[in-house]
Amino acid sequence: MEGLIVSNALLWILLLALAFAVMGLVRQIGVLHGRIAPAGALMVDKGVAVNEPAPQVTASDRNGRPVNFGYAGEKSQLLFFLSPTCPICKSLLPAIKSIAKEQADRLDVVFISDGDMEAQQALIREHKLDDVTYVVGPEVGMTYQIGKLPYAALIDKAGTLRAKGLVNSREHLDSLFEVEHLKSATLQDYLNSQPHPHAHDHSHGHSH
């Protein structure tokens, strides 16, 4: 009987130790997550380089009106490449619409897709995109060498490609505008170019 009591006590002690270990691990993961800088939009190294003139192409929107891409104009352009079969694309539509509204005075947002027109119309109805510029066709995607979705490209009013990349969140979208102001190809490039605060400490560490 005493042996059973002792074994039960040991089991409880072991469980408590395990619980504390898991709590400590969760806390460390939280600390690590807090230290990780935002990744920003992931730029796939294809097509025209950032800070170079954007490829110029003209395509028709879903109503047959011509839309120019990459030309100098009064506003910057945000190109958002999407598909009716892409769940992440759909999840970003409220953020894209919000950006379009917030920056309407300086930014034209263009939605670009390809494929079945009925599916496109269903997407437009479901997400209330009737008033947006919506291009359906392969021309723009081929010109900008888009291989994965959702993808976005930011062109300034001078026709220069300022930022581009895969976007999976509002944070990624916002990073495109950060990159524009920072004049770096990607947010990762900007972060990597900054001096590391602990670099001096490491140099002392090697002096022993």
pLDDT band at 198 (very low <50, low <70, confident <90, very high): very low
- 18 vs 53, more confident: 53
- Same domain, residue pair 89 and 12: no
Dihedral of CA 103/70/48/45: which sign?
positive
Per-residue pLDDT at 48: 83
Span 144-194, pLDDT tens digits:
999 899 999 999 999 999 999 999 999 999 999 887 665 554 444 544 555
Please state whether the predicted TM-score (pTM) of the whole model is above 0.85. no
Answer whether 79's CB lies under 8 Å from 112's CB: yes
The count of domains in the chain is 2
Determine, yes or no, domain membership for 88.
yes
Range of the domain at 147: 57-193
- Same domain, residue pair 85 and 13: no
Determine, yes or no, domain membership for 198.
no
Determine, yes or no, domain membership for 34.
no
* Pair of tokens at residue 84: 């009716």
- Same domain, residue pair 80 and 22: no
Task: Return the number of other C-beta atoms located less than 10 Å from residue 60's C-beta.
Answer: 13
**Residue 105 contacts by C-beta under 8 Å, 6 or more apart in sequence?**
none
- Same domain, residue pair 14 and 101: no
- Same domain, residue pair 75 and 167: yes
Tell me, what CATH number does 132's domain have?
3.40.30.10
Span 41-94, pLDDT tens digits:
555 556 789 999 999 999 999 999 999 999 999 999 999 999 999 999 999 999
